[in-house]
Amino acid sequence: MNIKATIVPFQQGTEEWAQHRAKSLNASDLAAAMGLSKYMTRAELIARIATGIVPEVDAATQRRFDKGHEVEAAARPLAEEIIGEDLYPVVLAADVDGLHLSASLDGQDLLGEVTWEHKQANAELIASLESGVIPDQYHPQMEQGLMLSGAKRCLFMASNGTRESMRYCWYESSPELRAKILPTWTQLMADVAAYVPESKAAPVIAAPVETLPAVSVKVDGALAIVSNLPDFGTALRNFIAKIPAQPSTDQEFADTEAACKSLKKAEEALEAAESNALAQLSDVDTMRRLVADFKALARATRLQKEKLVTQRKEAIKSEIVAGGIAALRKHIVELNAAMPDDYMPQVPADFGGVIKGLRTVDSIRNAVDTELARAKIAASEIANRIHANVKTIKESGLVVHDTAALVLKAPDDLAAVIAQRKAAEQARIDAERERIRKEEADRLERERIHAAQVEDQRIAREKAEAVSAERIRDELIANASAKLSADVTAFKPTETLRQHGEAEEVADDGARLTLGQINERLSPVSINVAGLSELGFEPVQQIKASRLYRECDFPAICRAIAQHVIAAAQTEAA
């Protein structure tokens, strides 16, 4: 994610800078938002942002701040020697996804490639840096500073302003931690919006416990018991009546535990009084019964109250943990409601683990709230990934039957699965197309073979028909030729051919035919001037290019042509 931060023109420590911080989500508060800070709980940060109430800076705190600025200024040249560049304090701010982020950097080089973070030295921090480890609580502040500055690494230093006290380590940007920054602030602001002020409990101190009267038992010379046991019994019963029956707050727990200690002392005092009386050779039954009764009452009450304290603490722990579990379950149900189906998995939360070793109700509640926020952030990240994956699957166009499993995958893994399935689907489509193409090719080949066979059969049939027709034609021609020959032999022309110079027997009626008209009547047979002349017919008249023949000669022309054709057929047949 590329973030374009702007430089805020306020010097660190000024009133303007403080007002800017009050309106921003500051890098120095990110550890508390993540539940990593040793100096502020997540609940305290939520209350501060929601109410705007900041603890007053007393004189001692101000002196500590001033000392920190002084030490930081003294250490800057040492950091510049290590980095090899001049360093400049800078305040950065940027609006990201509706969150107004800010970071006050102790130093940054001119090109913005390296940042510097300085802390006052203490024994624990120095020991950690000497082992090469930057404590986890400082990582979020540096990571948000790197995110806003665009730098890749930060020089983390602890010192008292001197070279001898200085210890340092390099911090490299962590993609995993950076990915948690925006979800952490988003969840924190959601909790700020739902914040309900609670009355702040004062530090828990046991209330003053009523002092029971001293037990006095002695034996006088007349062997009479002189004691205040009846008064002590009354005081003991009144004391027990004031002990909380069902402690549920840190104050009541402290009061009950203190009362149990007083009851223990009462047991010891009664036993000592009894022993003292016996030592005086007193064996008075009434005294002993009273001592035994009161001792038993004090012991039984103490044991019962001690057990009750333990049980109630465990019950309250269970109630707080159960509340965290229910709140997480509700959050997951709400996330599921915004999805096409119930895709959200169970998000692990170690509520039992985070309260181990904690004694006070407030510390237990804060630990559970912090773990709940962490689990909600993790659940929201999963939900965002699911929404993105659902969109990716929808846009892929694939028919998916295991959506519930696929939406939980990392985006890169899902992309690989979709690519693989698309390849498989394309291979299936290609195989199906090839099968259809082959079937179509086989069908066309079969049709071609069938058509060839039909064509071969047609050709064979036509050949057979042609042979039969030729045979029939030859027979017809032979028959016609024979008949025509007989007719020609028997034919007696009524006119004499002109080339023989015989007298014409056909009277000329004066009608004339052009060569074109003769060919039109003979169609589809045609003849020219030379052909007619060869047959013995000459034009009787010529008009321009047209030669005219007697129309009365047309029957003779036809017979002459027929005789010529028959003669040619006979010659060919011979």
For residues 364 and 154, the model is more confident at: 154
Half-sphere exposure at residue 383, Cβ-oriented, CA atoms within 13 angstroms: 21
Tell me the average pLDDT across 427-454: 93
Give the pLDDT of residue 565. Answer: 82
Tell me: pLDDT of 479 over 90. Answer: no
Tell me the average pLDDT across 558-570: 82
Helix (H) or strand (E) holding 513: strand 512-514
Give the pLDDT of residue 285. Answer: 61
Decide the pairing of beta strands 541-543 and 153-159: unpaired
Give the pLDDT of residue 212. Answer: 64
Give residue 123's pLDDT band: very low, low, confident or very high (50, 70, 90): very high
**Answer CATH for 6-193 from 3.40.50.300, 3.40.190.10, 3.20.20.10, 3.90.320.10:** 3.90.320.10
Domain ranges of the chain: 6-193, 203-394, 410-491, 498-573
AA identity, residue 84 = G
Cα distances (Å, whole numbers) of residue 32 to 35, 94, 193, 367, 379: 5, 20, 17, 12, 20
List pLDDT tens digits, range 163-213: 999 999 999 999 999 999 999 999 999 998 888 776 555 555 666 656 667
Give the distance from CA 88 to its chain's centroid. Answer: 40
Tell me: pLDDT of 277 over 80. Answer: no
Taking Cα atoms as reference points, which of 499, 501, 510 lies closest to residue 551?
A: 510
* Average pLDDT across the chain, whole number: 84
Among the listed ranges 206-210, 383-387, 542-546, which one has the minimum average pLDDT value? Answer: 206-210
Q: Name every residue whose Cβ is closer than 8 Å to that of residue 98 and which is 6 or more positions away in sequence.
A: none
List pLDDT tens digits, range 335-356: 999 999 989 988 888 888 888 8
List pLDDT tens digits, range 388-439: 999 999 998 888 888 888 999 999 999 999 999 889 988 999 999 999 999 9
Half-sphere exposure at residue 481, Cβ-oriented, CA atoms within 13 angstroms: 17
Among the listed ranges 80-84, 177-181, 255-259, 326-330, which one has the minimum average pLDDT value? Answer: 255-259
Give the pLDDT of residue 492. Answer: 47
